Amino acid sequence: MFVGDSLSRNQWQSLICMLYSSVPGANYYIDTASGEVSTFTFTDFGVKVMLDHTVYLVDVVREAEGRILKLDSIQGCKRWKGIDVLIFNTWHWWNRRGATQPWDYIEVGGKLYKDMDRVVAFEKALTTWAKWVDTNVDPTNTKWERVERTESKIVRGAKPASGGSTYPGGLPPALAVLKKVLSRMKKHVELLDITNLSLLRKDGHPSVYGLGGMDCSHWCLPGVPDTWNQILYNLIL
């Protein structure tokens, strides 16, 4: 099961295509009726590849005050129980503001805030997720992967990178936060760190050819997400 935002969907779609290409003609069934979880089932093999669309991992709840992003609450975890392999991802939505921001207040420690430093909020949410993993996961039954990726932006008129293996813009602060949270965990969680790899492939976005206009967040398929999944495959083995 992939758990995360539309970039998780990107990787989920990539993996489905890669698996189907290895068993062309296999019978399959797609279930998107539940709304929160989409499931692609290879019926001949009893294999399910699932996507739980939850952009923050922690909860967004509608209450009297409005839509509350609850950094201490993670009720979506109920959908993760019994899954053989879980791949988590979050960050893409943490800097959303204005009309695209899907919450009105942040709640942490029983207090409401109109806003706060987004990197600080991100760390608090990851800490909630990490505590849940440490308390509830049996690593002998479930393999956990923590995926961290970042969006890369294409700016019209920008000069191309000078080449080499170093990304001139530097890595996003979220990556350092993630590594810090993982280092404090009791249970081992594998980090699929494909951030730098992806930043070096700005050419892999749909760009002006994306559905609905310019898209420099998601990735063309086949493309970069296939590389993510090839690395993931080797980690799972």
pLDDT for 119-156, tens place per residue? 999 999 999 999 999 998 887 778 766 665 544 433 33
Average pLDDT in the 159-187 region? 75
Instruction: Report the residue count for the chain.
Output: 237
Tell me if 157 is assigned to some domain: no
Pairing of strands 143-148, 85-88: parallel
**In this predicted structure, what is the pLDDT of residue 156?**
39
Tell me if 192 is assigned to some domain: yes
Q: Which residue has the higher pLDDT, 161 or 68?
A: 68
Identify whether the C-beta of residue 4 lies closer than 8 Å to the C-beta of residue 147: yes
Range of the domain at 232: 2-152+164-236
Identify whether the C-beta of residue 32 lies closer than 8 Å to the C-beta of residue 44: no
CA angle centred on 228, ends 224 and 231, rounded to 5°: 135
Residue 7 has pLDDT above 60, yes or no: yes
**In this predicted structure, what is the pLDDT of residue 142?**
80
- Identify the DSSP state of 51: E
Convert the pLDDT of each residue in 52-102 to its tens digit.
999 999 999 999 999 999 999 999 899 998 899 999 999 999 999 999 999
12: which 2 tokens? 């989920």
Convert the pLDDT of each residue in 8-58 to its tens digit.
999 999 999 999 999 999 999 999 877 789 999 999 999 999 999 999 999
Tell me if 21 is assigned to some domain: yes
**In this predicted structure, what is the pLDDT of residue 200?**
85
Identify whether the C-beta of residue 169 lies closer than 8 Å to the C-beta of residue 214: no
CA distances from 110 to 81, 123, 127, 232, 235 (A): 27, 17, 16, 38, 39
**In this predicted structure, what is the pLDDT of residue 165?**
57
Tell me if 159 is assigned to some domain: no
Tell me if 9 is assigned to some domain: yes
Residue 163 has pLDDT above 70, yes or no: no
What's the chain's Rg over C-alpha atoms? 18
1: which 2 tokens? 């099961």
For the chain, the average pLDDT equals 87
Tell me if 182 is assigned to some domain: yes
Domains in the chain, number: 1
**In this predicted structure, what is the pLDDT of residue 169?**
64
125: which 2 tokens? 């949410």
